[in-house]
Amino acid sequence: MNQSIPVIASDAVGAAAGGLVRHERNGLVVPAGDAAALARALRRLHDQPDLRRRLGAAARIDVEPYTAQAWAAGVSRALATVGASRAGLVP
């Protein structure tokens, strides 16, 4: 997504379930285990360059907040919540 590439994700994947990958907004979401739906999504992205560009541009915008720093801050908050800290369990 950071490279302006649309994503195809199953509805069982955390990024889709959590709302990062949104069907027809920044990628395509298919039902988990549905090979035919995956094939259709792949064909759509292959056959429709305008769709690829539109979804890819939105993907780039939508993923911008997900930086390494944001990830590290989130992990630090999660560890602090369970009582781990620099003074305790985490080096």
The pLDDT profile of the chain, 91 residues, written as one tens digit per residue, is: 999 999 999 999 888 888 899 999 999 999 999 999 999 999 999 999 999 999 999 999 999 888 888 888 888 888 888 776 655 555 5
Domain boundaries, the chain: 7-65
CA 50 to chain centre: 21
What's this model's pTM, rounded to 2 decimal places? 0.73
Residue 36's nearest CA partner among 27, 24, 44 is 44
User: Residue 26 and residue 60: Cα distance in Å, rounded?
Assistant: 8
